[in-house]
Amino acid sequence: MLKRGDLYYPTKEFKKNACVKSKAVYKQALKNPVKFWEKLAKGLFWFKPWKKGFLRKPPYFQWFVGGKINITANIFDKNQLGWGAIKNKIALIWEPEPIDEEAITLTYGELFKEVNKFANALKKLGVRKGDRVGIYLPMIPEAIISMLACARLGAVHTVVFSAFSSQALKVRLKDTEAKILITADGYWRRGKVINLKENADEGARDTQVEKIIVVKRANNEIPWNSQRDLWWQNLIKDGSEQCEPEIMDSEDLFFILYTSGSTGKPKGTVHTCGGYAVQAYWTGKWIFDLRKDDIFWCTSDPGWITGHTYTIYSPLLNGATTLMFEGAPDFPTADRWAQLIEKYGVTIFYTAPTAIRMFERYGAELIKKYKFKTLRLLGSVGEPIDETAWLWYFKEVGKGRCPLVDTWWQTETGGILITSLPGIGPFKPAFTGLPFPGIKVKILDEKGKVCKMGKTGNLVLLPPFAPGLLRGIYKNPEKYLETYWSQCGKKVYFTSDAAFKDKQGLIRIVGRVDDAIKVAGHRLTTGELEAAINSHDEINESAVIGIPDEIKGESPAVFAVYRGKKTDEEIKQEIVGLIRKQIGPIALPKEIFVVEDLPKTRSGKIMRRILKRLWTGEDLGDLSTLANPETVEKIKEIIRSK
Ligand code: PRX
């Protein structure tokens, strides 16, 4: 019987062939983490070796100082497996959403040519090393090609999730001052064509964008500005299939990826070339046991860090085949995802607990006929996985045979930092495991003391941190210092996650300690939702909390102060409209309450904690510090009468 609290270990068969099978690696790495990472870094191709492994001036740090690298050289002609061994191997399988449309496969050789052709097209448009390029593409091969083309040229890609609103795109384009935006006419989602170009046009208005490159994907009618817009297909028509890689310094800016900020303004996390490549390569090899014959399916969109690292860079650096699926995993039938695993012989499946809970909801009956014989490893990411979902995934998908690695990391860390290694284990439901070799973490209480076993505290990273950890927030050094290097001092990286350890030292992530909420694995902040709501002419104040959701883990609930003449229904619709327009459909609230006032302290601080307890029905605690305790009863009544 599978049970919570049990420890699971890899099968003998898995262990026999695993990339890493001895615990000794942890000890060796901890003796001298910098040396350890340097040894790993030597497993990649560098144009010039580094002079110093790690350089630190708290809170700043650098990795592989002076080393010269290009990640695309490591993916293609200088791949560690040898170009001859992978050139004709399939790098990418792309499955479109419509079932009557043909899939596309590209070998490493073919993908290399496409990347070079598009890199040359970008060059012709004036794109050079260090220039920022906005990518607002759905899950289509061109998303990968354009990211790799930027990397080839040393241009900085900023990928914006295609379901983000035009306004969310605009903020990112403005911040990066990108002159080029790459988008598509449209894409398929649940049987409908989404007109992406309209959003892209709106997002690019009043920014520095000079040219918009458009991939023809859905053949839908789109607005066209002949002065500014260019078809991707025309740009690459006669382009050369060769393009020399830009020689990048290890610490050169590689990409910027935005993540939610508290006040409504997203933070552009800055990632650099050398450290990111090393971490992407090795975490893939050791955590997913990645090898050339693997068909790796990471379900994340490239618009998120998981898509960057584990749909694209890590599997390709390891010479594996990556599978990208345009649509939703339960469309047109609930078992589409299971069909795809069988159709392509997926060997490693990496997804989020929200998807797992959704599959579970459809019932085990639905997938009974699938044997998943090719699967050999499962992964989970993005939000805490509860024991029930863990055990279901392990049993029904992994058939009790596949190691299940729950991987903890963040946009900021670039790659996975805490997990069990599949050839070693143990795997324990709802626990992520141990820090990756060479990663040092601590769990600290409010006074900065190390928490005892079982006690929850702040999870922090100790030097030398991680090669792939962010080096800054784009154009906002103050925010960088304040967010990551002040709560627990300048010397440790503050993750904003609470966690505890069990007696084996395995780590369980409890959740965020800041105002971030994880909705279906997507990271949002209550602050950014509130900023969108408060942009309403007649709403000055609102509070958003995360409430439990059976499928999505958490969902936003809105409490908006409104004293005007419109009906509650009208106001609710307007709030939904504002959130949709300013952030996107992923942020839509599960509940909206129109209230007269919010519980506040005498100094005016909104007590979100009380709102949360009102929702969950927990004891409210001491209300004597509230300036307006009478609002609590009123809100309670509003929630009750829902
Ligand atoms: O709270 C943690 C949660 O997701 C946060 C990072 O979100 P994001 O930057 O969007 O990156 C997600 C993909 C790496 C973390 O601070 N989180 C991520 N993985 C896990 C997790 N919580 C629990 N278990 C995980 N495996």
Residue range 176-192, pLDDT digits in tens: 999 999 999 999 999 99
Pocket of ligand 1 contains residue 586 by CB under 6 Å: no
pLDDT mean over 46-71: 97
Distance 137 CA to ligand 1 centre (A): 23
Cβ–Cβ under 8 Å, residues 403 and 373: no
At 163 the three-state DSSP class reads coil
- Convert the pLDDT of each residue in 502-527 to its tens digit: 999 999 999 999 999 999 999 999 99
Distance 7 CA to ligand 1 centre (A): 22
Distance 383 CA to ligand 1 centre (A): 5
Instruction: Name which residue sits closest to atom 8 of ligand 1, judged by CA.
Output: 410
Instruction: Name which residue sits closest to atom 24 of ligand 1, judged by CA.
Output: 384
Pocket of ligand 1 contains residue 305 by CB under 6 Å: yes
Nearest to 171 by CA among 143, 197, 195, 206: 206
Tell me the C-alpha distance between 446 and 402, whole Å. 39
Whole-number average pLDDT of the chain: 96
In this structure, the number of other CB atoms found within 10 A of the CB of residue 13 comes to: 10
Instruction: Name which residue sits closest to atom 14 of ligand 1, judged by CA.
Output: 410
- Ligand 1 atom at minimum distance from 419 CA: 26
Q: What does the pLDDT read at residue 261?
A: 82
Q: Tell me the pLDDT band of 364, cut-offs 50, 70 and 90.
A: confident
% the chain with pLDDT above 70: 100
Given ligand 1 and candidates 287, 381, 470, 515, which is best to mutate, with the most ligand atoms within 8 Å of its CB? 381
Pocket of ligand 1 contains residue 524 by CB under 6 Å: no
Q: Tell me the pLDDT band of 537, cut-offs 50, 70 and 90.
A: very high
Instruction: Name which residue sits closest to atom 21 of ligand 1, judged by CA.
Output: 383
Q: What does the pLDDT read at residue 464?
A: 97
Distance 384 CA to ligand 1 centre (A): 8
- pTM (2 decimals)? 0.96
Distance 410 CA to ligand 1 centre (A): 5
Cβ within 8 Å of residue 631, ≥6 positions away: 595, 596, 597, 598, 599
Q: What does the pLDDT read at residue 629?
A: 92
Pocket of ligand 1 contains residue 350 by CB under 6 Å: no
- Convert the pLDDT of each residue in 3-14 to its tens digit: 888 999 999 999
Cβ–Cβ under 8 Å, residues 41 and 50: yes
Q: Tell me the pLDDT band of 2, cut-offs 50, 70 and 90.
A: confident
CA 101 to chain CA centroid, nearest Å: 28
Q: What does the pLDDT read at residue 264?
A: 73
Tell me the C-alpha distance between 236 and 119, whole Å. 9
Pocket of ligand 1 contains residue 164 by CB under 6 Å: no
Give the residue carrying structure tokens 């290399």.
112
Strand partners, 558: 544, 592
